[in-house]
Structure 1
Amino acid sequence: MHQIFPRNENDLTQLQKLYEESDKVNFWKAPSKINKSVDIMVPQVEKRNFLDFLSKHHMTSTIVVKDLVKLLKAKEFDLRSQIRLRYPNERRLNDDYSRKLYLRMGEYYSYVEISWWLKYLEQKFPNLVEVISIGKTYEERSIYGVKIGAKKREPSRIIWIDGGIHAREWASVHTALYFVNELVSGYENDALITKYLNLLDFYIFPCVNPDGYEFTRTDQYDPAIRFWRKNRSPQKCFAHNGSQFCCKGVDLNRNFDFHFAEVGASSSPCSEIYRGENAFAELETKAIRDKVLSIKDRLDAFITLHTYSQLWIYPYSHKKNAYPSDVNDLKNVAKQAVESLFKLYGTMYRYGTGPETIYAYSGGSSDWVKQNTPTKYTYTIELRPSSFNWNGFVLDKRQLIPTARETFEGVKVVIDKIIEEHKFDPRKSIFNDYR
């Protein structure tokens, strides 16, 4: 794992070009600003070419991890030995509801386990939870989520939350599961959660890229597999220097029809940020699009969870100084959200558009939702750790619950704002017999 700090615009340009065009190295942290770290995983067979690239452009790197495979094996051993170890104040009483709901928080789960749990919740809480499948993947997996909300007299306003659109970002999947756990277990046990579910419906999809997610679990010690980013769509081939290259997968968060293919995406099928042949070419992005459009008139918030860098990103991200007309409201709520999040553990988030916080990119889901539906609050949240760390894709299990809990505190700010703006009357929102 190499870490580079671009010193000037030329360094930044060359690294961005490598990021968009290379299929040989894997960027964990993309180039964004001068003097901001760039983390690149370099396979041993590419070491010579990578060093030649650095020499050609007069750049230097620091090796932060010499043997990533060895580290992954050591980390897995370390995690197994830490199951009972917790940070101070990490667990609170309401976390123990996970025992009631048969899925212990603070662990990484397979997609089969996740799907089973969602169906179990529907069976156990039929008046509160409904399993939703929005489509199938290339490997015939259903893209499952849950609708959570008490029975209402009229159709409710909706908050959408998803995770796992990038396969290697396991902590985002856990955070979405934690939200499900808190909402379901908190109903009639926590006054605030009960109010939320009496007034709103939550559509939560813990993993919208299940093929990619499961692929990363097939060999957790092979960096090329564990840190796979894309989905697993069929191979696309292209010719280069007289040779033909074929690679699987598309970066789903570059495949939405928002300034498609303009910036921060690659036309090379072997790139980790390959945008696809055209917008909505992928089964997963089509499924998200179709479900969002079917509920767009009731959708008040669209929140997509990613890792990592501790960022709360609002539209638009395709270029600098591009904002929706209600950007001040989006910005103010983001500011309040990161302040609320900070109060729990002191975790510091930055907020802004993509170019203001990380880098410009087009084809993202939250930008598409903002531009093409009446949805007001659309956010991309980059979870722990901060951009000063390199290991965000292998987040220590001991940090999973704190990460999810503090993020939920931020999301509550969005929920409270929606309730405030709609001036809901709880007395009119639910059936008398919802219990």
Structure 2
Amino acid sequence: MNCAESKPSSEEEENYDFKRISYKGYHLFRIWPRSDDTIENLKILSEQPNVQLWLPPVKNMSVDIVLPPNIISSIKEELKENSIEFSILSTDIQKLISDQNPRHSDSRWKFKNEQTNKFTWTHYHSLDDISNYLEYLRSTYSNFVDLITIGKSAEGRDLKVIRISSDKSDIESLKPAIWIDAGVHAREWISPAVALFIIKQLVEFNNTNKNLTQNVDWYILPVSNPDGYIYTHTTDRLWKKSRSTDDGFRNRYFWEESDCKGVDLNRNWDFRWNEDGSSENPCHDTYAGRHPFSEPETRAMSNFILEHRDRIIIYLTLHSYSQMWLMPSNPTKSKSNDYDDLLYMGRKAVESLKKLHGTNYKLVAKHNIFYPTSGNSDDWAKNKVGIKYSYTIELRDRGTYGFLLPPSEIIPTGKEIFTAIRTLTKSVLINALDS
């Protein structure tokens, strides 16, 4: 990237040699494409340096796009000349970034001992903070909490799954289980934050939610892409992919290596891999990798899920943004045989969610969404593993802040999603008993 840069300050920098990318003066445009030509022009525009489409362009639907200062005037003129509707959501992306996670000496939680738990929900935390919080929970609630390292990232960081179960023993539980992963896309900070909020409800408020841990085992991976997550804290807040390298393959391309690192981990699963909605270009944000499960992160997750496939009854993956509860696709890209069951359970979840804060989440089957995706984890979980109730949850908001959701949104988002998951879990369990 050619963005302006400044030196970062973080305890997690020791493995990096970089400068922090600044988005000062970058604008966030919202554009309403009304023609196929406009769609194609937006796709071409997105290939320019430092331009980011935050969602795929779809005819007659708004699309958010980040533009660098040097092309803003010309893009404005072009949009006006062609009578293309647009608005400017922000005139300084860097200010949004700074406001989202301000640096204060007392804002970062430091783990000191097992009796000190000051993990906050008004701030987005570093990977070290998250890891220490999980260790705190394991040591403090050792009777029903455990941490399992299921593998390592491309840069060698542990992938830590927290297991929450009333049957805390070395013997494999026979209870049904729920899997939740988050932080697949590095810039979606609200996703790990909500996963941690769910963990807090299940562990620290276990007396209130004891029925959920007595009847179900929970496996939650709060940060599926730790390398990318750290990179968004230290270098590029809007980085999406992992940070893996495959220089022999990437050298066929002429882009800078720093732009071409990483794989979109939600395009790397072995179901309809590298079809619509993914890229073979390693420099693209939707690069699917060289082959299915080419990445250590997706291999570790898939192996663990397969080991527990007989017990996992719900698969959930947390993403942002757009406030959608997505039902998985199938090989025919049409309604599955159990479509009505998935729709029924999904509707119960989003209805319970709405009752809390009035937030509207759109329940959508993937074959009905307006842009294609492939190689996704929920599609794999449903079609390859056979986990009937598999969903992708696209968290807040609908684009006012997009990937830069203020930390003030963590608690309300966490509360409503936990409410939805609790409703879904109880409904699925009751349905299983009745069948």
Q: TM-score, normalised by structure 1?
A: 0.83
Instruction: Give a deviation string over 1:44-83, Cα, whole Å, max 9, x none.
Output: 3555886798699885643332222234335545x979x9
Q: Bigger relative contact order, structure 1 or 2, given CA contacts below 8 A and separation 6+?
A: 1
Distance, in Å, in 2 between the alignment partners of 1:324 and 1:291 is 26
Who is 1:93 aligned against?
none
Say which of 142, 153, 158 aligns to 1:137: 153
Pick which of 305-314 and 274-283 moved more.
274-283
Distance, in Å, in 2 between the alignment partners of 1:266 and 1:23 is 17
Who is 1:64 aligned against?
89
Who is 2:414 aligned against?
404
Instruction: Give a deviation string over 1:158-193, Cα, whole Å, max 9, x none.
Output: 100111000000001000000100001222x21xx1
Distance, in Å, in 2 between the alignment partners of 1:110 and 1:195 is 31
Who is 1:28 aligned against?
54
Distance, in Å, in 2 between the alignment partners of 1:184 and 1:266 is 40
Say which of 15, 34, 41 aligns to 2:42: 15
Mark the CA change 1:26 to 1:148 in structure 2 (over 3 Å): closer, same or farther: same
The Cα shift of 1:380 comes to 0.3
Q: Give 3-state SS (helix, strand or coil) of 1:423's partner.
A: helix
Say which of 400, 406, 431 aligns to 1:421: 431
Who is 1:277 aligned against?
290
Who is 1:42 aligned against?
67
Who is 1:432 aligned against?
none
Which structure 2 residues correspond to residues 95-174 of structure 1 after superposition, within 5 A? 102-151=118-167, 154-174=173-193
Instruction: Give a deviation string over 1:401-420, Cα, whole Å, max 9, x none.
Output: 00010011111122012211
Instruction: Give a deviation string over 1:234-254, Cα, whole Å, max 9, x none.
Output: 1552556xx455310111001
Distance, in Å, in 1 between the alignment partners of 2:292 and 2:285 is 17
Mark the CA change 1:104 to 1:212 in structure 2 (over 3 Å): closer, same or farther: same
Is 1:304–1:366's contact at 8 Å kept on the other side of the alignment?
yes
Structure 1 position 232 matched with structure 2 position 243: yes
Is 2:271–2:379's contact at 8 Å kept on the other side of the alignment?
yes
Say which of 188, 199, 209 aligns to 1:180: 199
Structure 1 position 300 matched with structure 2 position 300: no
The Cα shift of 1:102 comes to 4.2
Q: Give 3-state SS (helix, strand or coil) of 1:62's partner.
A: strand
Distance, in Å, in 1 between the alignment partners of 2:88 and 2:364 is 31
Q: Give 3-state SS (helix, strand or coil) of 2:309's partner.
A: helix
Q: Give 3-state SS (helix, strand or coil) of 2:310's partner.
A: helix
Say which of 340, 355, 358 aligns to 1:343: 355
Distance, in Å, in 1 between the alignment partners of 2:255 and 2:414 is 44
Q: Give 3-state SS (helix, strand or coil) of 1:156's partner.
A: coil
Is 1:302–1:366's contact at 8 Å kept on the other side of the alignment?
yes
Q: Give 3-state SS (helix, strand or coil) of 2:90's partner.
A: coil
Is 1:263–1:362's contact at 8 Å kept on the other side of the alignment?
yes
Distance, in Å, in 2 between the alignment partners of 1:227 and 1:345 is 28
Who is 1:6 aligned against?
33
Q: Give 3-state SS (helix, strand or coil) of 2:321's partner.
A: strand
Instruction: Give a deviation string over 1:97-139, Cα, whole Å, max 9, x none.
Output: xx98542223211111111111221111122001011110121
Which letter maps to 1:300?
Answer: I
Which letter maps to 1:125?
Answer: Y
Distance, in Å, in 2 between the alignment partners of 1:75 and 1:150 is 37
Is 1:2–1:65's contact at 8 Å kept on the other side of the alignment?
yes
Is 2:242–2:265's contact at 8 Å kept on the other side of the alignment?
yes
Which structure 2 residues correspond to residues 242-321 of structure 1 after superposition, within 5 A? 243=254, 245-246=256-257, 247-316=260-329, 321=333
Distance, in Å, in 1 between the alignment partners of 2:289 and 2:345 is 33
Q: Give 3-state SS (helix, strand or coil) of 1:31's partner.
A: coil
Which letter maps to 1:182?
Answer: Q
Distance, in Å, in 2 between the alignment partners of 1:145 and 1:302 is 14
Distance, in Å, in 1 between the alignment partners of 2:201 and 2:60 is 39
Who is 2:234 aligned against?
218
Is 1:248–1:270's contact at 8 Å kept on the other side of the alignment?
yes
Pick which of 175-184 and 273-282 moved more.
273-282
Which letter maps to 1:368?
Answer: W
Who is 1:88 aligned against?
none
Which letter maps to 2:212?
Answer: Y
Distance, in Å, in 2 between the alignment partners of 1:231 and 1:48 is 33
Which letter maps to 1:26?
Answer: Q
Who is 1:90 aligned against?
none
Distance, in Å, in 1 between the alignment partners of 2:162 and 2:418 is 17
Structure 1 position 208 matched with structure 2 position 203: no
The percentage of counterpart residues that share the same residue type is 36
Is 1:31–1:38's contact at 8 Å kept on the other side of the alignment?
yes
Say which of 383, 388, 409 aligns to 1:371: 383
Distance, in Å, in 2 between the alignment partners of 1:307 and 1:75 is 15
The Cα shift of 1:26 comes to 1.2
Distance, in Å, in 2 between the alignment partners of 1:177 and 1:113 is 11
Is 1:23–1:272's contact at 8 Å kept on the other side of the alignment?
no
